[in-house]
Amino acid sequence: MVNGFSPATLQEALEIRARHSVTPYAGGTDLMINPDPDAVYLFVNHIPEMKQIEQRGDQLHLGAACTYTQLLEHPLTPAILKAAIDLIAAPAIRNEGTIGGNIANGSAKADSVLIFFVADASLKLNSQSAERIIPIRDFYRERKQLDLRPDELITEIILPTKWLDHYYYKKVGARKALAISRVVFAGLLTWQDDVIAHCATAFGAVSGVVLRCPELDALLIGKTRSEAQAAKAGYLAAFGDMIAPIQGRVSAEYRKEVCLNLLTDFLTSNGI
């Protein structure tokens, strides 16, 4: 085809990626907003290896070219990811848009990416010659700056599922559907034997990349309820220092206030 490649296998796709200057096209829903008419696309939307969904032990392997709709309808998709996808755009976009594309777009407003952050997911990146697996937090260097080499494709998202059952998720958009996040928050907290076995939080749409501070969440891990209650003020204050939102269509002050309200509510809803 003119200005495009449509490989049938991952191997073929990686060969093209190595040899040509191409833009990977998964769902197109970000690329086509302001498309470069001279772009040469590498269509990866139907490559079988990139569409698989497979649980291996504690890890869920999601092919990067899985569409939102595919995940929404799949029995292995964790509820927290479904909750996020449910509020992404609208059906037509969810039918085309992919999780790999959402990651590659590099936006801190990407709702599925937030879930991958809070879950401490890793990405599998493949080139013709190598494969590497890196934590998603390392992949995003800063706003729109990704650790992706010109010959690589994001092929898989590896999602640890152990801590995903007890979640809190809230998105603030300008309307009830078809909305871009103004603030989006996800939290995970699991009690085991009356102590907090796991706590993870992530904030989207407040800074250049999703904000995830495991060192702060660690303040609560291993604590009993009363210890956590005692640590609560310090925990919130530490996040208060950390959250320095961007000014956009809504003010930085609003974003920060909502973040802290949601963080507080997340703790309250967990009895802290």
- Rank residues 124 and 255 by Cβ distance to another protein and give the closer one: 255
Give the contact letters, 85-124, x = binds to another protein (CB under 8 A), - = no. Answer: ----xxxxx-xx----------------------------
Residue 148 lies near another protein (rule: CB under 8 A): no
Least gap, CB of 41 to another protein (angstroms): 5
Give the contact letters, 228-267, x = binds to another protein (CB under 8 A), - = no. Answer: ---------------------xxx--x--xx--xx--x--
Which of 6, 127, 161, 207: binder of another protein (CB under 8 A)? 6
Closest CA to 100 of 56, 132, 141, 61: 61
Which of 57, 176, 192, 215: binder of another protein (CB under 8 A)? 176
Q: Report CA-CA distances (Å) from 264 to 116, 162, 233, 237.
A: 22, 24, 10, 11
Residue 48 lies near another protein (rule: CB under 8 A): no
Here the contacts of 76-83 (C-beta below 8 Å, separation 24 or greater) are 77/53, 78/159, 78/161, 78/164, 78/165, 79/164, 79/165, 79/167, 80/115, 80/118, 80/119, 80/164, 80/167, 80/169, 80/186, 80/188, 81/112, 81/115, 81/159, 81/164, 83/167, 83/169
Least gap, CB of 233 to another protein (angstroms): 18
Residue 69 lies near another protein (rule: CB under 8 A): yes
Residue 175 lies near another protein (rule: CB under 8 A): yes
Structure tokens at 8: 């049938």
Identify residue 154 by its one-letter amino acid code: I
Which of 3, 11, 55, 226: binder of another protein (CB under 8 A)? 3
Binding-site residue total for another protein (CB under 8 A)? 50
- Rank residues 29 and 126 by Cβ distance to another protein and give the closer one: 29
Listed in sequence order, the residues at least 6 apart from 261 whose beta carbon sits closer than 8 Å to its beta carbon are none
Q: Would you give the end-to-end CA distance of the chain in angstroms?
A: 59
Residue 214 lies near another protein (rule: CB under 8 A): no
Neighbours of 200 (CB within 10 A): 23
Q: How far apart are CA 243 and CA 201, in angstroms?
A: 12
Task: Please check whether residue 127 is in contact with residue 14, taking contact to mean a CB–CB distance below 8 angstroms.
Answer: yes
Q: Which of residues 16-45 bind another protein (CB under 8 A)?
A: 25, 28-29, 31-41, 43, 45
- Residues lying near another protein in the complex (CB under 8 A) are found at 1-6, 25, 28-29, 31-41, 43, 45, 69, 89-93, 95-96, 170, 172, 174-180, 182-183, 249-251, 254, 257-258, 261-262, 265
